[in-house]
């Protein structure tokens, strides 16, 4: 393996979602390599803030238009969301505080995106009850995916993405990529529906896989 390939591998995570693995990391690792060569590279927390702001700005443009610009900003924010962790690993600045800070900013940015999609759907004339329902399901599904990952890892001792056969099909990179695609098509209601459905299906299946894994682990003790 070449030196460049080795560095790329070190910057990646085994728990990466499908979009991160095949799309986002190809861009984010190049950005990270450029940043760490600077005399004063930005801190991981600084990049986390920039990523959250870009994503939230994408939510704003999804609401007020043009939708394509909002979609592009959301995907850019998703790519930058990988840079903070890569910089932390490259400069050996990983910390629990930084991970918590990044997670909280991610949730706030996700809420901004979902609110933006909801406003866009309402402005298009979609039924208020339908928009409110899908918005609630999308937002709660987003939070539940994070919850099952955090609690599942704490209880099982293994990241849920690495448990069972179902990969990280509802991870943040995948959800934001769906927003990107449907944003380009100017279909905010479809974006909300896809995020909601994917989140809840994943949480249900992954919870079952975690319960089976924990039960099997207990029986072996």
pLDDT in tens, 9-19: 556 677 788 89
Q: What is the pLDDT of residue 180?
A: 98
CATH at residue 22? 1.20.120.1760
Do 17 and 171 contact (CB within 8 A), yes or no? yes
pTM: 0.90
What is the predicted pLDDT for the residue at 56? Answer: 98
Contacts 24+ apart (CB under 8 A), 207-216: 207/148, 207/152, 209/160, 209/163, 209/164, 209/165, 209/166, 210/148, 210/152, 210/155, 210/156, 210/160, 210/163, 210/164, 212/164, 213/156, 213/158, 213/163, 213/164, 214/155, 214/156
Helix (H) or strand (E) holding 211: helix 188-220
Task: Give the Cα separation of 207 and 147 in Å (integer).
Answer: 11
**Tally of domains within the chain:** 1
Name the DSSP class of 41. Answer: P
Residue 96 DSSP one-character state: H
For 15, the 3-state DSSP assignment is coil
Q: Mean pLDDT per 10-residue run, the chain (221 residues)?
A: 46 79 94 93 95 98 97 97 92 89 95 98 96 97 94 91 90 96 97 97 96 81 54
Task: Please give the angle made by the CA atoms of 183, 185 and 189, to the nearest 5 degrees.
Answer: 65
Per-residue pLDDT at 220: 61
Burial class of residue 23 (count of CB atoms within 10 Å of its CB; 0-12, 13-18, 19+) = middle
Give the pLDDT confidence of 25-74 residue by residue, as tens digits.
999 999 999 999 999 999 999 999 999 999 999 999 999 999 999 999 99
Domain that holds residue 187: 3-220
């Amino acid at each position: 393996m070449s030196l460049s390939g080795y560095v790329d591998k070190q910057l990646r995570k085994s728990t990466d979602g499908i979009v991160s693995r095949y799309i986002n990391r190809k861009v984010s690792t190049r950005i990270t390599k450029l940043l760490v060569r600077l005399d004063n590279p930005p801190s991981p927390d600084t990049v986390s803030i920039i990523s959250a702001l870009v994503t939230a700005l994408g939510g704003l443009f999804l609401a007020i238009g043009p939708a394509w610009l909002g979609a592009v900003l959301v995907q850019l924010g998703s790519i930058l969301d990988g840079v903070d962790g890569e910089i932390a690993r490259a400069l050996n600045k990983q910390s629990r505080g930084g991970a918590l800070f990044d997670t909280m900013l991610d949730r706030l940015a996700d809420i901004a995106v979902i609110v933006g999609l909801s406003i866009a759907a309402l402005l298009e004339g979609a039924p208020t009850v339908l928009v409110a329902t899908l918005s609630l399901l999308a937002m709660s599904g987003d939070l539940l995916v994070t919850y099952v990952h955090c609690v599942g890892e704490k209880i099982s001792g293994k990241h849920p993405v690495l448990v069972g056969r179902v990969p990280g099909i509802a991870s943040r990179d995948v959800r934001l990529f769906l927003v990107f695609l449907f944003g380009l098509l100017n279909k905010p209601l479809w974006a909300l529906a896809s995020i909601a459905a994917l989140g809840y299906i994943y949480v249900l299946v992954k919870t079952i896989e975690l319960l089976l894994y924990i039960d099997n682990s207990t029986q072996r003790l």
